[in-house]
Amino acid sequence: MLAIGQASHAWISGQLARAWGNQRFPGPDPYEEVCLAAEQHDVGMALWDLEPARDPDTGLPYSFMEMPLPIHLELWSGAPRRLLTQSRLAAVLVSMHGWRLYRRRKLEELLGDQAAAVRRYLDDQQRFRERLSARIDEQKLELASQLIWTWDFLSLAICLDWSPRTARDVPTVEGATDMEITNAGERRVALRPWPFEARSVRVRCEARRLEEHYKSDDALRAALSSASWETVEFELLSN
């Protein structure tokens, strides 16, 4: 098992952001702030990834998809403030990203206390953005948020080998479009339509190799702290 931390996957999102854009696909604007937000959109998970809890069903670290809701919610609640010392706009965009994630939750399927906690989170993030987003162009903000959503999805599709998949509502100069993600070989994916100027794009992240399924949190954390590092490289190609 190659364990890729959430912050490492987000690093790929930042690399995609820095390469993104051509005549059809708008690039990040403002460039540095949006690229920073893309790269740091999972900043709330960084410390958790150093000492994760074990998923008892697998004996491996919880993935973001199986993480218990209270833990996930707590990590996301603190994420935007971590960026305030770097960039107000990046902090607002990280808040928007978490808000969008939780707006997709089907609250009627959650336990009563969990549904209430999600509503509090959504309200808190709305107030956080309202305090910070004065004089930020709303259209630029929405475009940047949708681009970060797209880069996040593409990065997950790359890391988790989700292809074939479709990225929905990818911004173009003419309006939103769908982008097809297909397998093009080992650690290679093809995109159609193609959103970069370069003919191919290489991205990378770092991972830790775990050799077994662990019986306790302590055993997992000890193994993770001494696990070998591996650089994982991927290539994106025009389909």
Sign for the CA dihedral angle at 86, 90, 95, 98 comes to negative
- Decide: pTM greater than 0.85: yes
At 236, which amino acid appears?
Answer: L
Q: What angle do CA 71, 73, 77 make, to 5 degrees?
A: 120
What is the C-alpha separation between 38 and 224, in angstroms, rounded?
A: 26
Helix, strand, or coil (residue 187): coil
Which residue has 């940047």 as its token pair? 144
Give the Cα-Cα-Cα angle 203, 206, 207 (nearest 5 degrees).
Answer: 130
pLDDT score of 108: 85
Say how far residue 91 (Cα) sits from the centre of its chain. Answer: 14
User: How confident is the model at residue 112, as a pLDDT?
Assistant: 78
Tokens of 28: 């990040």
Q: How far apart are CA 106 and CA 115, in angstroms?
A: 9
Residues of the chain with pLDDT under 70: none
Q: What is the pLDDT of residues 83-138, one digit of tens each?
A: 999 999 999 999 999 999 999 988 888 887 999 999 999 999 999 999 998 778 88
CB atoms within 10 A of CB 120: 12
Q: What is the pLDDT of residue 111?
A: 81
Could you give the angle at which helices 112-132 and 69-82 cross, rounded to 10 degrees?
10
Q: Would you list the DSSP string of 13-36?
A: HHHHHHHB--SSS---SSHHHHHH
